[in-house]
Chains A and B, each alone.
Chain A
Amino acid sequence: MKKINSLVCVTAAFFAASTALAGNVSVFGPWLGGDQENVEAVLDGYANATGNTYSYVGSDSFEQQVRIDAEAGSSANVSVFPQPGLAADFAKLGFLTPLASGTGDWVRDNYAAGQSWVDLGTYAGPDGKDNLYGFFYKIDVKSLVWYSPENFEDAGYAVPSTMEELKAFNDQIVADGSTPWCIGLGSGGATGWPATDWVEDLMLRTQSPAVYDQWVSNEIKFNDPRVVAAIEQFGAFARNEAYVSGGSGAVSTTDFRDSPKGLFSSPPQCYMHRQASFIPVFFPEGISVGEDADFFYFPAYASSNLGKPVLGAGTLFSITNDSPEAHSLIEYLQTTEAHEIWMARKGFLTPHKGVDTSVFSDPTLKKMNDILLGATTFRFDGSDLMPGGVGAGSFWTGMVDYADGASAQSVADAIQASWDALK
């Protein structure tokens, strides 16, 4: 009988939920598990501040589902896009509502490198006119190299501060009979993406930001010698048998979630791992960031005159089903409180200049945020900005081919061909 009662309850809940309550905002995002608890804490803050209610649903196949919902007209009020490229497509198709006027000015004034965040969130609408559609919130820094300080101490190594030092350091580790890097490109259907981050980071370290921007928008071709050179720079790390744990053949088959574990094994399989700020989630149980694991900035060439470029990524909030509550949520995200709630939890970085950085749950996050705030150049993950067929397709598969031994030129040619086919 009890079972039947709860069955009735569920059915009742369904009917209640299907008639939209006044003052409710529905949010659809890519976060699940621990991240879902975090975003719900922020949304709780919104509910307390405004008296509105919210409902959040996460999905691991966000990119596909958001499209189905948009096509069918069943979108949530607010959708959280992990890639600006997808949001730009949506804006063009008319699925997004422009943010309230003044939001752009606020971002320009309150975010570090504010104009670049406005530019990343501004797309052409269905009428071809540019509007601000996306509000960036929660940033990942990608230019990080993770290591175990105690292993460095045992071996008497110091953290390299320039790319020249890093390259000499690679050879030193090999000369000492160890392996410098753990690199894994495996990620199910997205296999290859970690290598695109490498190439982007090395582009920023060998070419000016302007060239990077032209590359991302295909104003210079993918098979341009400058891009091919950046791919080959990645090859200098990943295709050197002695540099990579398991040999270069293991790069494309090792899962990116498993590869950092080599840092902490006994004896260590590698000394360094280049990956974004979210990677500690995949460290073995009991590893505490700041003590067992630490990171340093993936260094730039001292000889080049490019400063300290930082590669990052981020999620943006967009309105996919217009309502006053959706706008009030975007407004709430402009308060320092909305940033500090997640800062006090885990895995959150923000370019908001007004926040109190002492609320970060651990000092390493503060250190990462300092890298973000201290960047001379900040560039968004290029593959997220390229059209989906390239940035989430041929660029990934091309990098797997390259890691498996294809030449950089042929891989770049193939990627450019796939880009031309999309035009």
Chain B
Amino acid sequence: MDNIVGKKSSLSWAVNISVAVLVILWLIPTIGLLVSSFRTADQISTSGWWKAFNSNEQNIIVRTANPQTQKIIDGKYVIEGMLFSSEKEMTIRVWGVSSRAIDGYIPGETAKLTKGGEITLRGDGHYRMINENPFTGSRGMRVFVTAPMAPEFTLDNYRKVLFDPKNVEGMGKAFLSTLTVTIPATIIPILIAAFAAYALAWMQFPGRALLVAFVVGLLVVPLQMALIPLLKLHMHIGIGKGFLGVWLAHTGFGLPLAIYLLRNYMIGLPKDIIENARIDGASDFKIFMKLILPLSFPALAAFSIFQFLWTWNDLLVAKVFLLDSSGQTEVMTAKLVELLGTKGGNWEILATSAFVSIVVPLIVFFTLQKYLVRGLLTGSIK
């Protein structure tokens, strides 16, 4: 009796658990990225993000004050000071003065220095160095400290990506360039695809089925194959590299999916109302504008989310069709790659920029998401 309509399946707990597991699995990388975006480059390279929240014991190297600050007290040379800046409270567990024995002493003990003199270190980081002869050298001495450290987070990465005076102007410009690419590259294919989908769904003409099959076939053509021939064509007919070129490219690459999605949705609309409208003397254009477009809104919204996200995140098409040698048309993705440096590897910038560039797509997604599921199911169920 399990399959009676309206009765919950006895296995619904399994569904719930697997959904929960899948959601967590999907979220883990995102959370890791978010945590990493608040950590410094050195923290990222030395410990995993999941360790960011516990206070854990760390070995660090700090320096005493410069020998130039030494004073003469009772005929001896003395350097005094604090190893840590005042806002950080730390309690040292063990310490040392040589990289060979970083845990040679406990707080309060006095260590002999190889270059002469001695140093006494208290648990709070206060130290005192005494020597019969003057301390020499251009810098302070290294002290190796082992202490539990409170978790530490920083906003510096966000400051660097968003407000660094060196790239704040470029970033603003890149943001506008991205919008200049994205908005027309979303609207143009939807316009064309809506007309085409109506024609393929509701207008009778010879070869219609073949045309649909052809469009579906185009779905599997990888866009990488078309990059060079298309750019050659653009150069040849005088469009060159620039916004016009990238709009056309995005339109071309987006159209097969758009037409396919919208046609499948439109063909599922009730036949009666369209035939009624025909009998009442409405032209195809009128039917399209007054009936089909309003009824297809979920599918249009779903596709515009797809297309928007894809053009927003796009780097490849922008690099090929947009970025010319003038450097004036840089999009955000290209700008972020630039921040990563010549040899890459600035993970903290990568994590941060991921979250910076995700903001606008998230806004778009949440405003249109109620249509997304409806639109996604287009054509799959009637």
Which residues does A use to contact B, with CB under 8 Å?
Answer: 3, 6-7, 10-11, 13-15, 17-18, 26-28, 30-36, 55-61, 65, 68, 71-74, 76-77, 148, 150-151, 154-155, 188, 255, 257-258, 261, 264-268, 278, 281-282, 284-285, 291
Q: Is the CB of B231 within 8 A of A150?
A: no
Which residue of the partner chain, among A65, A72, A73, A285, contacts B42 with CB atoms under 8 Å? A285
Restricting to B314-343, which residues have a CB under 8 Å from any CB of A?
Answer: 319-320, 323-329, 337-343
Stretch of B75-83, B234-242, B295-303 lying at the A interface:
B234-242
| C-alpha spacing A71/B231, complex, angstroms | 9
Which residue of the partner chain, among B173, B231, B232, B337, contacts A60 with CB atoms under 8 Å? B337
Which residues does B use to contact A, with CB under 8 Å?
Answer: 40-42, 45-46, 59-61, 98-100, 102, 138-139, 142, 144, 172-173, 176-177, 179-180, 227-228, 231-232, 234-235, 240-243, 319-320, 323-329, 337-345
In the bound complex, residues from chain A placing their C-beta under 8 Å from that of B345 are 255, 257, 282
In the complex formed, the residue of B with least CB distance to A288 is: B139
Q: Is the CB of B340 within 8 A of A77?
A: no
In the bound complex, residues from chain B placing their C-beta under 8 Å from that of A284 are 41-42, 45
Given A10-B173, A32-B337, are A18 and B242 also a contact pair (CB < 8 Å)?
Answer: yes
| C-alpha spacing A14/B326, complex, angstroms | 8
| C-alpha spacing A364/B41, complex, angstroms | 25
| C-alpha spacing A155/B341, complex, angstroms | 36
Q: Is the CB of B320 within 8 A of A68?
A: yes
In the assembled complex, the CB of A275 is this many whole angstroms from the nearest CB of chain B, namely: 12
Q: Is the CB of B176 within 8 A of A55?
A: no
Q: Is the CB of B340 within 8 A of A32?
A: yes
What are 28 A-B contacts with C-beta separation under 8 Å? A10-B176, A10-B180, A11-B180, A13-B328, A17-B329, A33-B338, A33-B340, A33-B342, A56-B325, A59-B319, A59-B323, A60-B337, A60-B342, A68-B231, A71-B228, A72-B228, A72-B231, A74-B231, A76-B325, A77-B325, A154-B98, A154-B100, A261-B46, A265-B59, A266-B102, A266-B144, A267-B59, A284-B41
In the assembled complex, the CB of B174 is this many whole angstroms from the nearest CB of chain A, namely: 10
In the bound complex, residues from chain B placing their C-beta under 8 Å from that of A17 are 324, 326, 328-329
| C-alpha spacing A36/B342, complex, angstroms | 8
| C-alpha spacing A71/B229, complex, angstroms | 9
Q: Is the CB of A278 within 8 A of B343?
A: yes
Q: A-B pairs with CB below 8 Å: how many?
A: 144
In the complex formed, the residue of A with least CB distance to B40 is: A285
Which residue of the partner chain, among B142, B232, B342, contacts A73 with CB atoms under 8 Å? B232
In the assembled complex, the CB of B114 is this many whole angstroms from the nearest CB of chain A, namely: 8
A73-B232, A284-B42 are known contacts; what are 15 more A-B pairs with Cβ within 8 Å? A6-B173, A10-B176, A13-B326, A17-B326, A26-B325, A32-B337, A32-B342, A60-B337, A60-B340, A74-B235, A188-B344, A261-B42, A266-B60, A267-B59, A267-B144
In the complex formed, the residue of B with least CB distance to A278 is: B343
In the assembled complex, the CB of B304 is this many whole angstroms from the nearest CB of chain A, namely: 20
In the bound complex, residues from chain B placing their C-beta under 8 Å from that of A32 are 337-338, 340-342
In the assembled complex, the CB of B147 is this many whole angstroms from the nearest CB of chain A, namely: 11
In the bound complex, residues from chain B placing their C-beta under 8 Å from that of A267 are 59, 99-100, 102, 144
| C-alpha spacing A18/B240, complex, angstroms | 8
Q: Is the CB of B242 within 8 A of A14?
A: yes
In the assembled complex, the CB of B59 is this many whole angstroms from the nearest CB of chain A, namely: 4
Given A26-B325, A32-B338, A77-B325, are A281 and B343 also a contact pair (CB < 8 Å)?
Answer: yes
In the bound complex, residues from chain B placing their C-beta under 8 Å from that of A34 are 341-342
| C-alpha spacing A90/B59, complex, angstroms | 51
Chain A CB within 10 A, most for which of B40, B144, B241, B339:
B241
In the bound complex, residues from chain B placing their C-beta under 8 Å from that of A59 are 319, 323
In the bound complex, residues from chain A placing their C-beta under 8 Å from that of B42 are 261, 284-285
Which residue of the partner chain, among A36, A58, A73, contacts B235 with CB atoms under 8 Å? A73
Given A30-B342, A257-B343, A266-B59, are A74 and B241 also a contact pair (CB < 8 Å)?
Answer: yes
In the complex formed, the residue of B with least CB distance to A261 is: B45
In the bound complex, residues from chain B placing their C-beta under 8 Å from that of A57 are 323-327
In the assembled complex, the CB of A369 is this many whole angstroms from the nearest CB of chain B, namely: 20
| C-alpha spacing A266/B99, complex, angstroms | 7
In the complex formed, the residue of A with least CB distance to B115 is: A153
| C-alpha spacing A30/B337, complex, angstroms | 12
| C-alpha spacing A30/B342, complex, angstroms | 7
| C-alpha spacing A284/B40, complex, angstroms | 10
In the bound complex, residues from chain B placing their C-beta under 8 Å from that of A257 are 343-345
| C-alpha spacing A59/B338, complex, angstroms | 7
Q: Is the CB of A155 within 8 A of B231?
A: no
In the complex formed, the residue of A with least CB distance to B145 is: A266
In the bound complex, residues from chain A placing their C-beta under 8 Å from that of B231 are 68, 71-72, 74
In the complex formed, the residue of A with least CB distance to B103 is: A267
In the assembled complex, the CB of A74 is this many whole angstroms from the nearest CB of chain B, namely: 5
Q: Is the CB of B228 within 8 A of A268?
A: no
Given A74-B231, A258-B45, A266-B59, are A26 and B341 also a contact pair (CB < 8 Å)?
Answer: no
Which residue of the partner chain, among A3, A27, A150, contacts B325 with CB atoms under 8 Å? A27
| C-alpha spacing A40/B193, complex, angstroms | 44
In the complex formed, the residue of A with least CB distance to B323 is: A57
Q: Is the CB of A31 within 8 A of B235?
A: no
In the complex formed, the residue of B with least CB distance to A12 is: B328
Q: Is the CB of A55 within 8 A of B326?
A: yes
| C-alpha spacing A36/B41, complex, angstroms | 21
| C-alpha spacing A28/B326, complex, angstroms | 10
In the assembled complex, the CB of B246 is this many whole angstroms from the nearest CB of chain A, namely: 10
| C-alpha spacing A71/B339, complex, angstroms | 28
